[in-house]
Each structure stands twice: as structure tokens, then as C-alpha cells.
Amino acid sequence: MRLLAGIGAVTLGLLAAIGRVAMFLGATLTHLVRPPFYPREFALALLNIGWLSLPVVGLTAIFTGGALALQIYAGGARFNAEAVVPQIVAIGMVRELGPVLVGLMIAARVTSSIAAEIATMKVTEQIDALVTLSTHPMKYLTVPRVLAATLAVPLLVGVGDVIGIFGGYAVATGTLGFNAAAYIQNTVDFLELRDVVSSLVKGAVFGCLAALMGCYFGMNSGRGAQGVGRATKGSVEAAAVLILAANFVLTGVFFSV
């Protein structure tokens, strides 16, 4: 009986949390289309989320692409299929690894920073100060960050895909003896428009989720340093899990047929 009560409590808690996040997303969308708008905050968020994430995204992608080429070559050699390295690297990076790894890096870098910043603003009464200065915190803090992440992360994913493929190309042509021109030709021939579109759509969804979780946990932070710490940890956990779950759903939507 106690076990059932425990399961019930966890289920109700989960449903309540989903409801609160859905309401938060609804409020964000409502404020997105209603003035006033804060273009300076949007530009700063775009710079922080997009431009300043480029190094970490680039490094993640190039190493992953290189490792992927080595693994596919070694695995393919077991049944004389070493030649498929360009095709599998391309499809692996564009369909899955590019968006997921960029999404997770954004969760680590951006979600944590948004949650910590907003939670600190909350515990130091800066959010209350915004309200007393006639500025809605959702419009000033949440909308610019969520919008910037939704627009910037697909671009980062696109860059990550290209760099990841380049990583595979560098390894394949440098150490595995592939012909450079043939590698590029095979990659281009094999990729379809659907692969690229799915990659960019995933990037937009993951960016939105990452920023939304940072803002949600920041705005609902507890008191003190411990509250900020919990908000930051919770935001990254939630963003990472939601990104992986959304990836599963989106993969099903794009490629189940």
C-alpha cells in the first residue's frame, strides 16, 4: 500500500511539474508577441548563446566526427564495408550526433549559466527590483533568452554538423587512406534534404528547451546559495533529459516512415 502511495505521489508530482513548465512556456509565448520588446537583451543573449558557444561546439564536433570515422572504419572492416565511412559519418553527425551533442553542450554551458544568473537575481531581489521598475521579468529575462536560443542553436547545429563531417574527413583522408575528393562527393551524394532539415529542427527544439529550463529553474529558485545551486543542477538535468527525450520523438517523426 505504501509502495502504491509512493508511486502515486511521484506520478502526481511529475504531472504537476509538467503542468508548471507548460504554463511557463505558455507565458513565455504570450510575452513573446506582446510589447514591450527588449532588443538589447535579445542581442546580448544571441551573442552569449550563439557566438560564444562556437568554440565548445566546434571542438566537440571535430573530435566526435574523427572518433566516428575511426569506429566506422574499424567496425566496417569486420564485414569488408570500410568504404561506407563518409556516408555513415555524414548521416551519424547530421541526423543524431550533431544536434544531440550540441544540445547537450548548450545544456551544460547555457542552461546552467541562465539558471545561475536568474536564480542569483531572484535571491538578491533583483527580480523584485525589475517589477518595481515597471519591467516584467518574463519579457526582460525569459523571452530574449528563449528566442535567442531557439534561433541560435540550429545555426550552431549546422556549424557542428559541418565541423563533425570535417573531423571524419580529416581522419579518413589523413590516416585511413581515403581519397579527399571521393570522400566529399560521397558525403554530398548521400545526404538528403530531410537529414539537414531534421538536424536544424532538432537544434531549434533543443535550444528552446535548454533556455526554457534555465529560465524556469532560475525563476523558481529557492533561497540562498543552496537554492541557486539546486536550481542550476536541476535545470541542467531537466534540459539534458528533455533534449534526449525530444530527440527520440523527433527522430520518430522524421524517420519512422
Partner 1 sequence: MITLSDVHKSFGDNHVLRGVDLHVERGTSMVIIGGSGTGKSICIKTVLGLVTPERGTITVDGQDVTQTRDRDAFLARFGMLFQAAALFDSLPVWQNVAFRLMRGSLKRPKDEAREIAIEKLRRVGLTADVADRLPAELSGGMQKRVGLARAIAAEPEIIFFDEPTTGLDPIMAGVINDLIREIVTEMGATTMTITHDMTSVRTIADNVAMLHGGKIRWTGPVADIDAAHDPYLDQFINGRAEGPIETVR
Alpha carbons 40 and 219: distance in angstroms, whole number: 21
Question: In this chain, which stretch among 131-139, 148-156, 162-170, 224-232 interacts with partner 1, using CB under 8 A?
Answer: 131-139
Tell me which of 1, 3, 4, 133 binds partner 1, using CB under 8 A.
133
In the region spanning residues 18 to 37, those forming contacts with partner 1, defined by CB under 8 A, are 36
Its sign, for the CA torsion 16, 229, 38, 41, is negative
* Contact of 92 with 195, CB cutoff 8 Å: no
Number of H helices, E strands in the chain: 12, 0
How many residues bind partner 1 (CB under 8 A)? The answer is: 15
In the block, cell 561546439 appears at 57
Question: In this chain, which stretch among 7-15, 126-134, 150-158, 207-215 interacts with partner 1, using CB under 8 A?
Answer: 126-134
* Contact of 151 with 52, CB cutoff 8 Å: no
Tell me which of 71, 87, 126, 251 binds partner 1, using CB under 8 A.
126
38 is a site residue for partner 1 (CB under 8 A): yes
Alpha carbons 40 and 28: distance in angstroms, whole number: 18
* Contact of 145 with 208, CB cutoff 8 Å: no
For the beta carbon of residue 174, count every other beta carbon within 10 angstroms: 12
Minimal distance, residue 23 CB to partner 1, in Å: 17
Alpha carbons 99 and 157: distance in angstroms, whole number: 5
11 is a site residue for partner 1 (CB under 8 A): no
Minimal distance, residue 121 CB to partner 1, in Å: 8
Tell me which of 7, 128, 175, 245 binds partner 1, using CB under 8 A.
128
Question: In this chain, which stretch among 11-19, 122-130, 166-174, 186-194 interacts with partner 1, using CB under 8 A?
Answer: 122-130
52 is a site residue for partner 1 (CB under 8 A): no
Based on CB atoms, which residue is closest to partner 1, 149 or 204? 149
Residue 135's SS3 state is coil
**Footprint of partner 1 (CB under 8 A):** 36, 38, 120-121, 124-126, 128-135
